[in-house]
Amino acid sequence: MSTTTSAQNPMNPDRTADRSTGPSAGVAGPRHFLSAVPEPDFSSDGGRGRYEEALRRYPGQAIVDLRAMRDNMRRLVSMCTSEGSHAAVMGVVKADAYGHGLIPSALAALAGGATWLGTAQSHEALLLRRAGIGPDRCRILTWVYDGARVPFDELIAADIDVSVGSLPGIDAVAAAARRLGRKARVHVKVDTGFGRNGFTPAGFDEALRRLVPLAREGVIDVVGQWSHLAVADSPDVPEFVASTDRQIASFHDFTRRMSEAGIAPRIRHLANTAATLSRPDIRFELTRPGIGLYGYEPDPAMGRPSTYGLRPAMRLQAQLSTVKDVEAGHGISYGRTYLTPDDTSTAIVPLGYADGINRAASGFDMQGARHVEKPGGPVRVMTAQGLRLLRVSGRVCMDQFILDLHGSASELGVREGDTVELFGPGRGEALGEPTADDWARAADTISYTVFTCLSNRIPRLYEHAPEVLDDGDLALLDPDTIL
């Protein structure tokens, strides 16, 4: 198997300047480091200085394009307000906005037309309100909690909508609302076949017996009804399409039962990103796109991001550490699962599984792994001859992984300090620019984990913030993160 791919500029004409745009301030004399990524689009000289400081602080950076995120949301909003649909759109910013940064991502989603924000954990919902995103600007829904300890009183006081999907949850929300003397806004979670949280059809009568008196008393306001889809991201599998149809039918039956009990939901939401893109019939009053906001399709079976007019918002890059020559047969990393097939040079990328680089993206060769060959995660590297796509060689370590350069570093012009790209917003591995989907394939996982597992020790830096956000929103960001 070939483990390198040449990506010359004729194939990638928009990258003709990449070879001279790497970091160069204050290290190793006057040389210009090679870079496999374009220089960030700095909004000011201050942004350039903050970028250089980030490179001095840590040898890896996640560059997040807020303009791409805003435009992704605009695209999703446009879908939900066309073809006879008038659904509002929730920007799902759970898990630190899928690793992109909670507050910046929430603000970009709102700039793109979202009128709701969603977080799984209650503390992130409270962080959004404390940052200054008030109820006059958007509704916020939170849905995962320990019902015995969650601060329902704080959530209700902050005018945050809460999900209820268990009997203890109903009781706890009601108790908090009574203590505050303030009505709680609730969304009733129903289990239509996902098997996670929510009331099952068999247990729903008891839930209604508790919800209806509380609603009549004015302790709770039953705002919504919602559920999760299990396989909406597999439209190519007839069995899964039929399963989604059964979930939809079950959802409608829950609506009927709520309406007959006198607590008809005003807002129903079932569509995740997959259904938002492919099932306009179930957008209802609200949709909840998550991964789509960040520019990815839910599953490669649905196509590529460009299929839906979406653009990935994050680029992960790093600066090379030790570069050295090694002889043929040299063991690379733990377990000697990779032995260099020829005299070569290696380079260390100083990010590892403590940074969120999945250890399952390690690369083995048939010499070292005893007839087991497994391609590692792809990395784009600039050389004196042009761009090359290399792969993780050997096991990913806690703080680093190694690349076999498949050639002499001195001849390739590769040195310590050069910037490499692990994944970016581009056109996929085949054209020399790996994406999070490519890393997901290497680790046998999904793109979601590639983002959400990135450690906070990797700085997040934001492009196009002054273009996307007004002065008030811009003031909510950490100024050291604005490029």
Longest alpha-carbon distance in the chain: 79
| Least reliable range by pLDDT among 5-19, 367-381, 440-454 | 5-19
Q: Residue holding tokens 């733990």? A: 334
**Residue 74: Cβ-neighbour burial (10 angstroms; 0-12, 13-18, 19+):** middle
- 76-100: pLDDT as tens digits: 999 888 866 789 999 999 999 999 9
| CA 9 – CA 279 distance, rounded (Å) | 40
Tell me what the mean pLDDT of segment 431-442 comes to.
88
Q: If DSSP states are collapsed to H, E and C, what string results for 402-420?
A: EEECCCCHHHHCCCCCCEE
Catalytic residues: 94, 334
- 161-220: pLDDT as tens digits: 999 999 999 999 999 999 999 999 999 999 999 888 899 999 999 999 999 999 999 999
356 Rama sector, left if φ>0, alpha if ψ -120 to 50, beta otherwise: left
pLDDT of 431 higher than 90: no
| CA 90 – CA 379 distance, rounded (Å) | 34
pLDDT of 311 higher than 90: yes
Residue type, 85: S
pTM: 0.90
pLDDT of 408 higher than 90: yes
Greater model confidence, 459 or 235? 459
- Delineate the domains of the chain, giving CATH numbers in brackets: 5-65+313-468 (2.40.37.10), 67-306 (3.20.20.10)
Confidence band (pLDDT; 50, 70, 90) for 18?
very low
